[in-house]
Chains A and B, each alone.
Chain A
Amino acid sequence: MTLIHLAILLPIIAAVIVGLSKKYSKRIHTGWLVLPVPLLIVIYFLTLIPDVNRHDVLYHSMNVMPNIGLNFDVYVDGLGLLFAILISGIGALVVLYSIGYLSHREDLTSFYIYLLIFMTAMLGVVLNDNVLGLYLFWELTSISSFLLIAFWYNRERSLYGATKSMLITMGGGFLMLGGFLSLYLITGSFSIREMIAQVDLIQASELAPIAIVLILLGAFTKSAQFPFYIWLPDAMEAPTPVSAYLHSATMVKAGLYLVARFTPIFAFSELWVWLILLTGLITLAWASFNAVKQDDLKAMLAFSTVSQLGLIMSLLGLGALGVHTGAAEELFTVAIVAAVFHLINHATFKGALFMLVGIIDHESGTRSLKRLGGLMTIMPITGTMTAITAASMAGLPPFNGFLSKEMFLEVMVNIRHADFSFLSDVSILFPILAVFGSIFTFIYSVILFKEVFLGKETEDTPKTPHEAPWLMLASPLILSLLVIVFGLFPNILSQTIIDPAAMGILGTTTALDTQIYHWHGFDSPALWLTVFIIVSGTLLYMTRHHWMFIYEYHKEHFTLNYLYDRGLVYSRISSKQLNDKFVNGNVSHYLAYVLGFFVIVSIYTFIVNGMAIDIRTASPITLQEMIVVTIILIALAGILVVKSRMVALILLGSIGFSMALLFVMFRSADLGLTQLAIETVTTTIFLLVFSKLPDKESYKYSVKLNIPHLIISVGVALTAIIIGYSAYSNRLFDPISQFHIDNVYDLAAGGNMVNVILVDFRGFDTLFETLVFAIAGLGVYSMMRLRLNTKKEGDDHEEHIDESRL
Chain B
Amino acid sequence: MNAQSVLDVVLIFSILVLSFAMLGMMYRIVVGPTLHDRVLSLDALGVLLMGFIALISMMIHSQYLTVVILLIGILAFIATIGFAKYLEKGLVIENDRDSDD
Contacts and interface: CB of A to CB of B under 8 A. Distances in A.
A455 to B, nearest CB: 94
B50 to A, nearest CB: 10
B39 A676 contact: no
A627 B45 contact: no
A684 B38 CA distance: 16
The listed residue with most A CB atoms (<10 A of its CB), out of B41, B42, B60, is B42
Given A634-B30, A651-B29, A664 B53 contact: yes
B58 interface: no
Given A627-B20, A661-B52, A691-B91, A676 B35 contact: no
A688 B75 CA distance: 17
Interface in A589-631: 623-624, 627-628, 630-631
A654 interface: yes
Interface residues of B, number: 38
B10 interface: no
Given A647-B38, A676-B72, A687-B86, A669 B23 contact: no
B86 A691 contact: yes
B65 to A, nearest CB: 5
Contact of B71 (A634, A647, A676): A676
B19 A646 contact: no
B19 A687 contact: no
A644 B30 CA distance: 11
Contacts of B46: 657
A684 B93 CA distance: 10
Contact of A661 (B16, B49, B78, B91): B49
Given A627-B19, A660-B68, A664-B68, 17 more contacts: A624-B16, A624-B19, A635-B26, A644-B35, A646-B38, A654-B29, A657-B46, A660-B49, A661-B52, A664-B65, A669-B67, A679-B75, A680-B78, A680-B79, A684-B78, A684-B82, A691-B86
Interface in B37-89: 38-39, 41-42, 45-46, 49, 52-53, 56, 60, 62, 64-65, 67-68, 71-72, 75, 78-79, 82-83, 86
10 shortest interchain CB distances as A-B pairs = A627-B19, A691-B91, A680-B75, A669-B64, A650-B38, A638-B30, A687-B92, A624-B15, A687-B86, A624-B19
Interface in A656-684: 657, 660-661, 664-665, 667, 669, 672-673, 676-677, 679-680, 683-684
A631 B26 contact: yes
Contacts of A669: 62, 64-65, 67-68
Contacts of A647: 29, 35, 38
A653 interface: yes
Contacts of B35: 644, 646-647, 650
Contacts of A687: 82-83, 86, 92
A135 interface: no
Contacts of A673: 67-68, 71
A690 interface: yes
Interface in B9-29: 15-16, 19-20, 22-23, 26, 29
Contacts of A635: 26, 29-30
A664 B72 CA distance: 12
A650 B29 contact: yes
A65 B54 CA distance: 74
B60 A667 contact: yes
A44 B26 CA distance: 97
B86 to A, nearest CB: 5
Contact of B90 (A623, A660, A691): A691
A261 B5 CA distance: 97
A687 B93 CA distance: 10
Nearest to B55: A624
A687 to B, nearest CB: 5
Interface string A683-698: 1100110110000000
Nearest to A650: B38
Contacts of B19: 623-624, 627-628
B16 A676 contact: no
A642 B41 CA distance: 17
A800 to B, nearest CB: 20
B89 to A, nearest CB: 9
Contacts of A667: 60, 62
Contacts of A646: 35, 38
28 contacts: A624-B16, A627-B16, A627-B19, A630-B23, A631-B26, A635-B29, A635-B30, A646-B38, A647-B29, A647-B38, A650-B39, A653-B42, A654-B26, A657-B42, A657-B45, A660-B72, A664-B65, A669-B62, A669-B64, A676-B68, A676-B71, A677-B75, A683-B79, A684-B82, A687-B83, A687-B92, A688-B91, A691-B91
A654 B52 CA distance: 15
